[in-house]
Each structure stands twice: as structure tokens, then as C-alpha cells.
Chains A and B, each alone.
Chain A
């Protein structure tokens, strides 16, 4: 039994590097407005039974100005092996460089850049940059993000991409006045790359319950190659 647990732990450790880049998904990076001084806190749990692990990621977005946002993200990993702990602390700066608004629609592009600092002494930081785009029209929202993180010293490179489509299920038509709550469906194609292993592509199906100051989200993530893992995702966001 003990040997079994150790083997299981080894498998989990092998997957650890991939997990560091795994956090996120379900439209994690979008270019929607956050007012100066505004704060959005996000808590996301991604769990998998094979290997048995769970990652809890806390993220805080802070509006520096109308077009500039600071994103701080801290994942906590709970592995079957017992090697629990914090992974990389990620600090990203997002600047909107293009915005075109229309009645009930928007197109926005932002650049992002920042650092991933390990809490583990055996690793070195990563620094990187990327691009995020959001389009919204009628009942559909499309989000695209691409992020490359260059490993410094002993850390390898990593990268991720996400293409997400959300569709407003209810209400089919907005009320004349007032901000309603919404149900949205989400389909997302993403990819996670860590140096030394192939890019793992993932497909996510999920749903969002959107309240004016709260969002609750849930999804199922299926690897399309590589580990072939199926994960679940639960999350919430609060706008302060």
C-alpha cells in the first residue's frame, strides 16, 4: 500500500511542472474594464483524480488606471504525494492598447507582461509577455490569450493559449432597466506548454452564473493529448 502511494506520488511529481502552467482556463485572461482602484478577487479550484491532485489559485486584479490592470496570482497545490505547497507567484501587468466600443458590443486588445517567481528555492523566476483580446457582440463573447514565459536560470520556458467562446443562455433579452443576472455557457480550447514536454491541448466545457458583483463558474477540462487527464474546475469572482 505504501509502495502504491509512493508510485502515485511520483506520477504526481512528474506532472507537477505541467500543473504550474495549468492554472487558469475558463476565460482566465480577458480585456474587460476594471475601474481605477477597483478590485476583483478570484478563487479557482482545479482538481483531477488521475493523478490525484488539486490546485487552488487565488488571483487579485487591481485597476491601476482605466487601461492598466495589475494581476497577482498565487496557486496552492495539494498533491497525493504530500508535496503540497505554493508554486509560482505570478505578477502580470495588462495594458489595453486598442478599444472599439459600439452599442452592446466591444472589441479590445491588451498586452500583458510580468514575472513568475517561484516559492521553491530549487527554481528560478520566469519572465514573459503576451497578448489578450476580447470581442463581444449580441449574446456571444470571444476571448483569446497567448502568453510566453521565458525561464531564467534553472527554470524552463512555459507557454499557454486559450480561445474561449461564451454564449448568454439567459436572459435571451435584457430587461428595459436594471442589471440582471445571467447564465452563460462556455467552450474553451487551451494549451499548456512546459519546456521538456509537449504542448498539452485541452477542451473545456463549462457554465457561468454572472451576477453584477459575483461570478460563479464550473467546468470540465479534458486533455486532448499527453496525460489524457480529465479535471474539474470550480471558481468564483467577486468585484469589490
Chain B
């Protein structure tokens, strides 16, 4: 039973990974991020964008990574505006979909 579950889970993961190959991933540099309690709202506000599937914050590298929904796109100015409204200073926006 356990072996069957593992096989099914592996198949689901492999299928999801294959679909994920076409996803758009953006990164934006953000200045002023200093603590978990402060960046919570930023993560939430970025996640409210209808085009965004997932948001990840890096306090270490001072940036946010956004995985967009399939076929969606967001312009840089919209992202910068969200970051400014949340109280931080936006920097460069990069498309890192190719893993760069």
C-alpha cells in the first residue's frame, strides 16, 4: 500500500514539474526589508495580484520571487507600485523563468 502511494505521489510530482516548465518566474529587488513582521504585508500584497500563483520572499538576498499563473504576465511598474504601497523601495525586476 505504502509503495503504491509513493509511486502515485512521484507521478503527480513529475506531471506537475512538466507543466511547471512553461511558468513565468519574476524576481524583484526590494530595499528596506528588515524583519518577518514587516515583510508579511508585502508577501500578502504581492500575492493579491490576480496573475500571481506563488510569492517567495528572501530577506537574505533582499528580493521577492513571483511565480505567475500559466499564460499570465505582470508589468514591472505594477510590481514596483505594490512594493512602494507596502512601504518598501523597489529595485530591478528580472524574468528568471529560464533559471538564470
Give A contacts to B, CB under 8 Å.
Answer: 32-36, 38, 66-67, 99, 101-106, 136, 141, 168, 173-182, 210-213, 215, 237, 239
Kindly list chain B residues whose C-beta atoms are within 8 Å of the C-beta of A99: 32, 89
Complex Cα spacing A181 to B36, Å: 7
Q: Would A177 and B87 be within 8 Å (CB), given that A35-B45, A136-B34 are in contact?
A: no
Among the listed A35, A67, A141, which residue makes an inter-chain contact with B34, where contact means beta carbons less than 8 Å apart? A141
Instruction: Count B interface residues, CB 8 Å.
Output: 29
Q: Are A66 and B57 in contact (CB under 8 A)?
A: no
Instruction: Indicate which residue in A105, A176, A239 contacts B58 across the interface (CB closer than 8 Å).
Output: A176
Q: Are B41 and A35 in contact (CB under 8 A)?
A: yes
Additional pairs, 5, CB under 8 Å, beyond known A33-B88, A66-B85 = A35-B42, A105-B31, A178-B57, A179-B59, A212-B40
Evaluate whether A33 and B36 lie within 8 angstroms (CB atoms) in the complex, with A101-B31, A175-B60, A178-B57 already known: no
Query: In the assembled complex, which residues on chain B have CB atoms less than 8 Å from the CB atom of A104?
Result: 33-34, 59, 62
| Residues of A contacting B43 in the complex (Cβ-Cβ under 8 angstroms) | 179, 212
Q: Is B65 an interface residue (CB 8 A)?
A: yes
B interface, CB within 8 angstroms of A: 29, 31-43, 45, 56-62, 65, 84-89
The distance from the CB of A97 to the nearest CB of chain B, in whole angstroms, is: 14
Shortest distance between the CB of A94 and any CB in chain B (Å): 12
- CB of A211 to closest CB in B, whole Å: 6
| 6 nearest CB pairs, A to B | A33-B87, A101-B32, A101-B31, A174-B60, A101-B89, A212-B40
Question: A173 to B34, alpha carbons, bound, how many Å?
Answer: 13
